[in-house]
C-alpha cells in the first residue's frame, strides 16, 4: 500500500509471471532405470531453479482405469507451472481427455540388466538398509526370496517369464490393454509415442550425456545438473541406491531371457540409436567401440563424455522449436 491507494490503483494488475517454455514436463520414470538418482537431482534442482516438483508416493500402480487416468491428468494439469511431474506410470495421453499434452522425458537401460536389478532389489533391497526390502515385499515367502535366479528362468517361474518381462515398452505404449501384450502392436505404438511425445529418451549406460542434453533442452529445469551429479556429496547419495547381492545368471539362462525379451530389445536398440543420433546432432561423440554381437550383457559402459565436436548442420534452437510445435 502507498497511502490510501493500492498498487493496483496506480499500476494496474501486477505483471504476470512469464513462464519458460515448456512449463509442463512429465517424467514417467521406468523402474530400476536410475530414476531414484534422477529424482534426488530433481529435488536439488527444484530448490535451485524454483520449479514445482510434483512427485507421487504410488510406486506400484502403472496401469490405470479410464477414470483414474482422467483424475490423474486433472491433478497434474492443475499443478502450478512450471512443473515437473514424476511417477512410475505408463504413458498418459492428456489430449485424449482434453488436456494440454506435456513434454515427456524418460530413461531406459539394457532390459536384462534392468530385470536383474529389479529381481534382486525386491529380495534384498539396497545399501540404504537391508530392511528396505522387507517393507517393499513383506509377503514374499523365504523360499521365494532365496529362489536362485537360474531356477526362476530355466523352470519358467511367472516372475521370470512373459508377460512380467514385458516391462519397458508399456511405459511408452500407454494405457491401452494391448500395450501389455508382448508383440509388434505395442512395440510400434511405443516407438510412435517416443517420436511424437517425448522430448528425450536417454539410456542409463550414458547417463552423463543424458543429463547434458536435458540441460541443453530444458535449462530452466536442468541447468547445472551435471556439476551437481558429479559433486562427491551427491555421488555418495547415489551409491546408496545400488542394489545388493546381485548375481549373474548362467549364459544359458541369459540366452533364454534374451529370447523372451526380444521386443524389449528391439525397442531398447531403437531408442539407443535415436539417442546417439541426437548426441551427434548436438556435438557429443559416442565412444567408438567395435560393434559387439548382441546382446550386450554385463559390459559396464563408462559414464563419461568426450569433448564436443563441431557441428554446423542446422540451428539447434530451431530444431528444439520444431519439437515443441508438434
CA-based angle 227:232:236, to the nearest 5?
Answer: 120
**CATH number of the domain residue 138 falls in:** 3.40.50.300
Mean pLDDT (the chain) is 83
Q: Is residue 300 included in any domain, yes or no?
A: no
pLDDT at 15 (0 to 100): 55
Q: Is residue 304 included in any domain, yes or no?
A: no
Q: Is residue 312 included in any domain, yes or no?
A: no
> Which of the residues 11, 59, 88, 287 is marked catalytic?
88
Residues 175, 68: contact at Cβ < 8 Å?
Answer: no
Domain total of the chain? 1
Q: Is residue 315 included in any domain, yes or no?
A: no
> What is the C-alpha to C-alpha distance for residues 100 and 179, in angstroms, rounded to an integer?
23
Other beta carbons less than 10 A from residue 271's beta carbon: 22
Residue entry with cell 505404438? 189
Torsion of CA 316, 319, 320, 324, to 10 degrees: 170
Q: Is residue 321 included in any domain, yes or no?
A: no
Q: Is residue 251 included in any domain, yes or no?
A: yes
pTM score of the predicted model: 0.81
Q: Is 88 a catalytic residue?
A: yes
Q: Is residue 324 included in any domain, yes or no?
A: no
Condensed to tens digits (0 to 9), the pLDDT of residues 67-107 reads 999 999 999 999 999 999 999 999 999 999 999 999 999 99
Q: Is residue 301 included in any domain, yes or no?
A: no
Amino acid at each position: 500500500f502507498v497511502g490510501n491507494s493500492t498498487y493496483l490503483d496506480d499500476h494496474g494488475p501486477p505483471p504476470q509471471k512469464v513462464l519458460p517454455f515448456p512449463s509442463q514436463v512429465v517424467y514417467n520414470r521406468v523402474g530400476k532405470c536410475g530414476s531414484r538418482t534422477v529424482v534426488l537431482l530433481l529435488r536439488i534442482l527444484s530448490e535451485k531453479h524454483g520449479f514445482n516438483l510434483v512427485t507421487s508416493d504410488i510406486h506400484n500402480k502403472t496401469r490405470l482405469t479410464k477414470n483414474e487416468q482422467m483424475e490423474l491428468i486433472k491433478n497434474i494439469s492443475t499443478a502450478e507451472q512450471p512443473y515437473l511431474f514424476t511417477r512410475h506410470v505408463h504413458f498418459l495421453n492428456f489430449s485424449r481427455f482434453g488436456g494440454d499434452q506435456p513434454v515427456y522425458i524418460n530413461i531406459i537401460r539394457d532390459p536384462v540388466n534392468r530385470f536383474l536389478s529389479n529381481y534382486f532389489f525386491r529380495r534384498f533391497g539396497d545399501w540404504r538398509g537391508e530392511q528396505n526390502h522387507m517393507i517393499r515385499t513383506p509377503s514374499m515367502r523365504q523360499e521365494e526370496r532365496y529362489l536362485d535366479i537360474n531356477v526362476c528362468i530355466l523352470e519358467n517361474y511367472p516372475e521370470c517369464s512373459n508377460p512380467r518381462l514385458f516391462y519397458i515398452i508399456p511405459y511408452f505404449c500407454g494405457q491401452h490393454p494391448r500395450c501389455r501384450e508382448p508383440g509388434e502392436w505395442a512395440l510400434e505404438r511405443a516407438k510412435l509415442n517416443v517420436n511424437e511425445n517425448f522430448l528425450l529418451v536417454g539410456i542409463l549406460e550414458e547417463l552423463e550425456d543424458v543429463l547434458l542434453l536435458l540441460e541443453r533442452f530444458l535449462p530452466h529445469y536442468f541447468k547445472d545438473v551435471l556439476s551437481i551429479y558429479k559433486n562427491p556429496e551427491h555421488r555418495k547419495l547415489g551409491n546408496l541406491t545400488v542394489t545388493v547381492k546381485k548375481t549373474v545368471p548362467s549364459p544359458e539362462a541369459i540366452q533364454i531371457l534374451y529370447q523372451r525379451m526380444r521386443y524389449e530389445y528391439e525397442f531398447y536398440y531403437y531408442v539407443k540409436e535415436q539417442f546417439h543420433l541426437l548426441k551427434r546432432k548436438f556435438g557429443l561423440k559416442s565412444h567408438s567401440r567395435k560393434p559387439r554381437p548382441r546382446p550386450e550383457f554385463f559390459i559396464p559402459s563408462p559414464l563419461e563424455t568426450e569433448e564436443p565436436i563441431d557441428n554446423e548442420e542446422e540451428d539447434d534452437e530451431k530444431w528444439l522449436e520444431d519439437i515443441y510445435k508438434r
